[in-house]
Structure 1
Amino acid sequence: MAQALVNIRMDEELKKNLEQTCNELGMNMTTAFTIFAKKVTREKRIPFDVSIDPFYSDSNMAHLRRGVQALNAGQGVEHELIEADGE
């Protein structure tokens, strides 16, 4: 089967992390992208949910900005850090 070259641009840190993860899984990035391409082609869909993180919604970002402004003005309430169980 003939091979084709595909160039992908991504953030350098993301590439480094992806290479490390692929290595831990016993494959290289070419194998990972080939698996992705075969699954997309077979299923005719992106094989995972693609959604917007609600944390970055306009209303939440406005709420966070108001909180930062209140803290900077000395009007906010600072809470102790709560650690999750097992972490």
Structure 2
Amino acid sequence: MTSTLVNVRLDENTKKGMSEVCSELGISMSAAFNIFAKTVVRERRIPFEVTADPFYSAENMSRVRHAAAQLDAGKGTEHQLIEN
């Protein structure tokens, strides 16, 4: 099977960190990306959980905007901070 070249852009810190981890594992970055790609193809999924911060969900952002508008309109209520 012939190989093809794929370019991947990473920030310097990520590249350095990945290079260090790959070195500790005794594999090249190319081998690591190949393992990732083959796992994606075989399992037909990203082989780890990919999530978004729920704070930024549309529903929560709507609540935050509404609460901010209430405060701006002077309709906010004072409350006591409850610490556990």
TM-score, scaled relative to structure 1: 0.61
Query: Are 1:20 and 2:15 matched, yes or no?
Result: no
Distance in 1, Cα, partners of 2:34 & 2:15: 16
SS of residue matched to 1:19: helix
Tell me what 2:69 maps to. Answer: none
Which whole-Å CA distance do the structure 2 matches of 1:19 and 1:52 have between them? 26
Aligned: 1:39 with 2:39: yes
RMSD, matched Cα: 1.6
Cα deviations by residue, 1:45-83 (Å, 9 ceiling, x for unpaired): 0000001245xx257xx8xxxxxxxxxxxxxxxxxxxxx
Task: Kindly report which structure 2 residues correspond to 1:1-87, keeping only aligned pairs within 5 A, or say none.
Answer: 1-53=1-53, 57-58=55-56
What amino acid is aligned across from residue 43 of structure 2 in structure 1? E
- Structure 1: gaps of 5 or more residues: 63-87
TM-score scaled by length of structure 2: 0.63
Q: Which runs of 5+ in 2 are unaligned?
A: 65-84
Count the aligned residue pairs.
58
Deviation of 1:4 after TM superposition, in Å, equals: 0.3
Percent pairwise identity: 52
